[in-house]
């Protein structure tokens, strides 16, 4: 059984079918990327998986359980983490305070002994220690006391990844974590994702095809809400339909 599955997952906005009977089976530990032209439905697919949007039809199955009708906080509690956009970061608070808040926002669930300890004790020191470890992991230890709004852009993106990690996720969905970054920052962020989230099951939306080819175990190509194909980078690169979709549409 795959870690995360969708069964004919569909999301409509009135007449528009933004996500059209999408079937995914993401294995535990897999690094899966989702690519597709602008408007293909990538973000809507993510929102439907996390519960930010309600599915019109179909199912989201996590660890073998149907979570389609669960609110998003309950999905987070079960281990479906998603990157926070920078707008979710409290600019006036320090990096450490932001990570602590994210950690505290999630009620305890069955998880690793270490993490369980932090939650059950609920003691100030433990949550702080957990948050400090997260900052260390994402390379922001020296910026623990820096106000989030004054962090460099790349460091703010690191903080976003830290906020997901603070929720102790089992699956992490990242929606364009390198958006707006230059070549060096993009590389640094992808290295970070690779380092810090290597053990995780990862779903990544990314426009940079070369980058996706480099890091993914498998790639799902969406076009007009539907899956064109899923395969290894090599399989996807040689797929004629994919080439047509990309030559036909912009991929920003």
Ligand X SMILES: Nc1ncnc2c1ncn2[C@@H]1O[C@H](COP(=O)(O)OP(=O)(O)OP(=O)(O)O)[C@@H](O)[C@H]1O
Dihedral angle computed from the Cα positions of residues 108, 110, 111 and 112, in that order, rounded to the nearest 10 degrees: 110
Distance, in Å, from the CA atom of 76 to the CA atom of 165, rounded to the nearest integer, reads: 11
Nearer to ligand X, 42 or 130 (CB): 42
Q: Are 62 and 3 in contact (CB under 8 A)?
A: yes
Q: What six digits make up the tokens of 72?
A: 């998003």
Shortest Cβ 182–ligand X spacing (Å): 20
**Residue 14, Cβ density class (10 Å: 0-12 exposed, 13-18 middle, ≥19 buried):** exposed
Shortest Cβ 1–ligand X spacing (Å): 27
Half-sphere exposure of residue 27: CA atoms within 13 angstroms, side-chain side: 8
Nearer to ligand X, 13 or 90 (CB): 13
Nearer to ligand X, 54 or 121 (CB): 54
Shortest Cβ 38–ligand X spacing (Å): 4
Nearer to ligand X, 85 or 149 (CB): 85
Distance, in Å, from the CA atom of 22 to the CA atom of 19, rounded to the nearest integer, reads: 7
Q: Which of 152, 168, 145, 153 lies closest to 98 in space, CA to CA?
A: 145
Shortest Cβ 199–ligand X spacing (Å): 27
Per-residue b or e along 99-128, where b marks 16 or more CB atoms closer than 10 Å to that residue's CB: bbbbbbebeeeebeeebeebbeeeeeebbb
Shortest Cβ 56–ligand X spacing (Å): 12
Nearer to ligand X, 76 or 221 (CB): 221
Give the binding site for ligand X (CB under 6 A): 13, 16, 18, 36, 38-44
């Amino acid at each position: 059984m795959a870690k995360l599955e969708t069964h004919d997952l569909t999301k409509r906005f009135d007449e528009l079918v933004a996500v059209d009977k999408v079937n995914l089976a993401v294995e535990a530990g897999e690094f899966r990327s989702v690519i597709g032209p602008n408007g293909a439905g990538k973000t809507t697919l993510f929102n439907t998986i996390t519960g930010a949007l309600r599915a019109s039809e179909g199912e989201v199955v996590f660890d073998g359980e149907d979570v389609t009708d669960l609110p998003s906080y309950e999905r987070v509690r079960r281990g479906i983490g998603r990157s926070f956009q920078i707008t979710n970061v409290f600019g006036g608070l320090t990096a450490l305070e932001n990570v602590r808040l994210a950690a505290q926002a999630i009620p305890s669930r069955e998880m690793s002994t270490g993490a369980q300890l932090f939650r059950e004790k609920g003691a100030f020191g433990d949550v702080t220690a957990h948050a400090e470890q997260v900052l260390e992991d994402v390379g922001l230890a020296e910026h623990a006391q820096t106000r989030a709004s004054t962090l460099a852009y790349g460091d703010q993106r690191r903080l976003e990844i830290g906020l997901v990690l603070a929720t102790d996720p089992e699956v992490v969905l990242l929606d364009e974590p390198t958006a707006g970054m230059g070549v060096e920052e993009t590389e640094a962020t992808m290295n970070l994702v690779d380092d810090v989230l290597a053990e995780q099951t990862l779903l990544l939306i990314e426009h940079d095809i070369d980058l996706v080819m480099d890091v993914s175990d498998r790639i799902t190509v969406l076009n007009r809400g539907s899956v064109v194909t899923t395969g290894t980078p090599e399989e996807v690169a040689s797929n004629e339909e994919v080439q047509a979709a990309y030559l036909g549409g912009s991929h920003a």
